[in-house]
């Protein structure tokens, strides 16, 4: 019955305690002692339930496998129904036991992660659910605020000289010195510009930037692909001013910014670059890695 499904078997209690012992060893005893196998098993089960629900949704939309009616009814057996739908054992610790060589290596690697150590030392909180969607940084309504910010930005490697091409990362908010030899970095044995190097450290190879003095959005993918994109700032006539040639006051257009944000959230930056380069072959010849 439901009550039995809420309580672990002796095998499950021993398995979770064994895993906890391994984690305790790998974290250098930073992990608290387990109060009991039963309490630990209940905590793990409750903590993993949101992930199983997300996995079931992803599995359904990826493969089109219909969810059984049991999943539509919440209750004590919901955990078991999710495991059955995903072809997982209800005693998930068995996955660690059956692949112990691989899992022990992964556990040791995870436990050495700096963020894990910070959490165990009480320096940061655990992830909470539901998680909010990642977003690009907030941009000021008036473009002159960005111009003022960029005018005060100095190249970090040239003794306080003003940057000729200050570029704002829309993912993390860092200001970079683009198109300059002073801030080049070595990436996989090749000299690349500050934006390209930042793309790998901040966006795993995909970057989205605002070239402040040109009022132009820059998309980068890898070291060799990129394109320019219409900025989210418009004048009173509803027009962009790439290059700031007209000098009209510019204000943030939320609709355009949402479109850029959607491209980023849907991992469509690389695809957008491909479309742009197909439509404009001159983009292919630009040395994007130097930006």
Query: Do residues 280 and 286 touch, judged by C-beta distance below 8 A?
Result: no
* Alpha-helix residue ranges (DSSP H) falling in the chain: 2-6, 10-26, 37-63, 78-85, 93-98, 100-111, 114-120, 143-151, 194-203, 254-265, 269-279
Highest mean pLDDT among 85-94, 117-126, 207-216: 207-216
pTM for the model:
0.63
| pLDDT of res. 1 | 42
Domain boundaries, the chain: 10-121, 143-280
**How high is the pLDDT of residue 2?**
41
Q: Looking at the predicted structure, is the pLDDT value of residue 88 above 80?
A: yes
State yes or no: pLDDT of 71 exceeds 50.
yes
pLDDT for residue 200 is more than 60: yes
| Residue-level pLDDT at 133 | 82
Does residue 161 carry a pLDDT above 70? no
- Those residues with Cβ within 8 angstroms of residue 120's Cβ, 6 or more apart along the chain or in another chain: 27, 30, 31
Does the pLDDT at position 217 exceed 90?
yes
């Amino acid at each position: 019955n439901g009550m039995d499904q809420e309580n672990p078997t002796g095998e499950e209690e021993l398995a979770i305690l064994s895993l906890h012992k391994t984690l305790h060893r790998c974290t250098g005893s930073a992990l608290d002692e387990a109060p009991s196998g039963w309490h630990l098993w209940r905590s793990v089960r409750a903590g993993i339930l949101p992930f199983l629900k997300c996995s079931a949704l992803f599995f359904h939309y990826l493969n089109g496998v219909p969810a059984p009616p049991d999943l539509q009814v919440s209750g004590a057996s919901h955990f078991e129904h999710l495991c059955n739908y995903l072809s997982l054992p209800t005693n998930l610790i068995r996955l660690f036991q059956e692949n112990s060589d691989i899992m022990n290596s992964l556990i040791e690697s995870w436990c050495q992660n700096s963020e894990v150590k910070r959490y165990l030392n009480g320096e940061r909180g655990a992830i909470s659910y539901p998680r909010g969607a990642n977003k690009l940084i907030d941009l000021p309504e008036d473009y002159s605020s960005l111009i003022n910010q960029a005018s005060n930005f100095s190249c970090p490697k040239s003794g306080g000289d003003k940057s000729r091409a200050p570029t704002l990362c829309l993912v993390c908010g860092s200001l970079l010195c683009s198109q300059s030899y002073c801030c080049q970095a070595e990436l996989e044995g090749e000299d690349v510009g500050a934006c390209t190097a930042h793309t790998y450290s901040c966006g795993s190879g995909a970057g989205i930037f605002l070239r402040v003095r040109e009022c132009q959005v820059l998309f980068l993918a890898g070291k060799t692909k990129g394109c320019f994109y219409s900025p989210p700032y418009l004048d009173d006539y509803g027009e962009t001013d790439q290059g700031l040639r007209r000098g009209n006051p510019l204000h943030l257009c939320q609709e355009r910014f949402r479109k850029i944000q959607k491209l980023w959230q849907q991992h469509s930056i690389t695809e957008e670059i491909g479309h742009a380069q197909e439509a404009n072959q001159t983009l292919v010849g630009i040395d994007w890695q130097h930006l």
